Amino acid sequence: MANLWSGRFEKGMDKIVEDFNASIFFDKRLYECDIEGSIAHITMLCEQGIVTADEKSKIISELNNIKEEVKRGEIEFSVHDEDIHMAIEGILIKRLGDTGKKLHTARSRNDQVAVDTRLYVKKEIKNILDVLNYLENVLLEKSEKYYDKIMVGFTHMQHAQPVTIGFHLMAYFQMFKRDMERFIQCFDRTDYNPLGSCALAGTTIPIDRYRTAELLGFKNVTENAMDSVSDRDYILELMSVGSICMMHISRMAEEFVYWNSQEFSYISIDDGFCTGSSIMPQKKNPDMAELLRGKVGRIYGNLIQLLTVMKATPLAYNKDFQEDKESLFDTIDTLKNSILILAKMLEKTEFIVENIQKHLNSGFLNATDIAENFVKINIPFREAHELVGKMVKYSENNHKQLEELTDEDLQKIDMRLNKAMLPDLSMEGCVNGRVSYGGTAPSEVQRQINKGKEWIEKIVY
């Protein structure tokens, strides 16, 4: 069968051009969205009196047949089909003849691909939100289990202050919460129907774009036909939000990698999420965490690829835009799998509290508590900071912990100092005292967990 656009041409495409031009082997993934859009379109055309009820019925019946055949793998696409839109329409015309030729009335592949990808993005955002919801629930569960178990808090990868494991995990809950909010906002901006924009200028045929929006579940229609067919912001936004989300995944994955090392031994990752060595029989490698850390590169790359494709493209539609799909599909597949792997790995990872406690005696984690206590007894903070710095230096030189300093030691550091000026310097005392809103005190961590549970129960998408 000749190409559906071949009337203007005297000869067919060169073989190498045909291969280079075709997108059917990757955009066939859009077949359900394409058929959904076509069913809505022909329904609207019938309601507007542009096609008959019988024609509508035959077209919808055959489109549903094609959908089931594709789903069962009974239709084999070829390079001659060019893209999924032409492929389905070509099959329809082959089966229905002139009736099938009426489907493409008052639409172009330009608005057809826009409606397909918007429908696809909307569906996949829901799927991404589902796996993020699962991850958030795992984080809440683990945070609650370890809400009062103390670990080292780091800045610059240096021991900083004691925090609880639950507090640390709830920081990731907040990251992924923002990701969910961004995906919901992206969905909202994607939820506009471009169908009926045609090639770039609309149509003289009396269509009803609001009706197709209603049939396809869009909240509204796009405002400008030229923008509608040339817009890929919704794909770029999904990739951008996906890149931020993947960055968060990589941060947690990195912590899993070093927490799992012998130097830390903070966690025990389930065997099902590790691999061994082909030469060293003792090895248990955190390969899933490393892969999660590494896959962020391909999602960043996909975003940069499409930003580059869209750069300086004039209005309206350009063939360059065909290059949006492979990166879109790869971003969605990689992100969904990464979120799911992270959630399942975390679910089956336990913190080795007794090992973590061995790390709490290094790095003077309680130094800030002394400075803050000095403030409470009217020593200006900068002066307090300097005094505690001297105490730390003295302790290092004399191989002591801050809580081991005697009155004699303190007098050597500064004549004003004595033991009575020091607060409870136990790790429990340091953590329990941080009751400021958002702090690491177990009571405050539990509040954060409870608030997180309320949010995840109420979220609508």
Is 210 domain-assigned?
A: no
- State residue 59's pLDDT score: 98
Is 187 domain-assigned?
A: yes
Cα 248 to chain centroid, rounded: 9
Residue-range definition of the domain harbouring residue 174: 111-147+169-203+220-357
Asked if 225 contacts 292 with a C-beta cutoff of 8 angstroms, the reply is no
Q: Which residues pair with 285 in a beta bridge?
A: 275
Is 442 domain-assigned?
A: yes
Is 212 domain-assigned?
A: no
Is 163 domain-assigned?
A: no
Same domain, 13 and 130: no
Is 229 domain-assigned?
A: yes
Same domain, 181 and 282: yes
- State residue 1's pLDDT score: 47
Same domain, 80 and 198: no
Going by the DSSP 8-state scheme, the letter that residue 320 receives in this structure is G
Is 243 domain-assigned?
A: yes
Same domain, 255 and 403: no
Q: Is 338 a catalytic residue?
A: no
- State residue 258's pLDDT score: 95
Last residue of a domain, one of 329, 357, 385: 357
Residue 346: CATH number of its domain:
1.20.200.10
Same domain, 419 and 291: no
Cα 147 to chain centroid, rounded: 26
Last residue of a domain, one of 357, 388, 423: 357
From first to last of its 461 residues, what are the pLDDT tens digits of the chain? Answer: 456 645 665 666 677 777 788 889 999 999 999 999 999 999 999 999 999 999 999 999 999 999 999 999 999 999 988 999 999 999 999 999 999 999 999 999 999 999 999 999 999 999 999 999 999 999 999 999 999 999 999 999 999 999 999 999 999 999 999 999 999 999 999 999 999 999 999 999 999 999 999 999 999 999 999 999 999 999 999 999 999 999 999 999 999 999 999 999 999 999 999 888 889 888 889 999 999 999 999 999 999 999 999 999 999 999 999 999 999 999 999 999 999 999 999 999 999 999 999 999 999 999 999 999 999 999 999 999 999 999 999 999 999 999 999 999 999 999 999 999 999 999 999 999 999 999 999 999 999 999 999 999 999 99
Same domain, 297 and 383: no
Please state, in angstroms and rounded to a whole number, the distance separating the CA atoms of residues 279 and 317: 55
Closest listed residue to residue 382, CA positions, set 398, 391, 371: 371
- State residue 3's pLDDT score: 65
Same domain, 268 and 293: yes
- State residue 426's pLDDT score: 97
Same domain, 90 and 239: no
Same domain, 183 and 307: yes
Same domain, 90 and 117: no
Closest listed residue to residue 292, CA positions, set 329, 348, 248: 248
- State residue 13's pLDDT score: 65
- State residue 14's pLDDT score: 72
Q: Is 230 a catalytic residue?
A: no
Residue 26: CATH number of its domain:
1.10.275.10
Please state, in angstroms and rounded to a whole number, the distance separating the CA atoms of residues 84 and 287: 37
Is 155 domain-assigned?
A: no
Same domain, 134 and 39: no
Backbone angles phi and psi of 354, in degrees to 5: -65, -35
- State residue 22's pLDDT score: 83
| Given 78, 277, 362, 443, the catalytic residue | 277
Last residue of a domain, one of 331, 357, 383: 357
Same domain, 280 and 141: yes
Is the omega angle on the peptide bond into residue 316 within 30 degrees of 0, that is, cis? yes
Backbone angles phi and psi of 268, in degrees to 5: -125, 110
Residue 366 DSSP SS3: coil
| Given 156, 278, 399, 436, the catalytic residue | 156
Residue 402: CATH number of its domain:
1.10.40.30
Report the number of distinct structural domains present in the chain.
Answer: 3
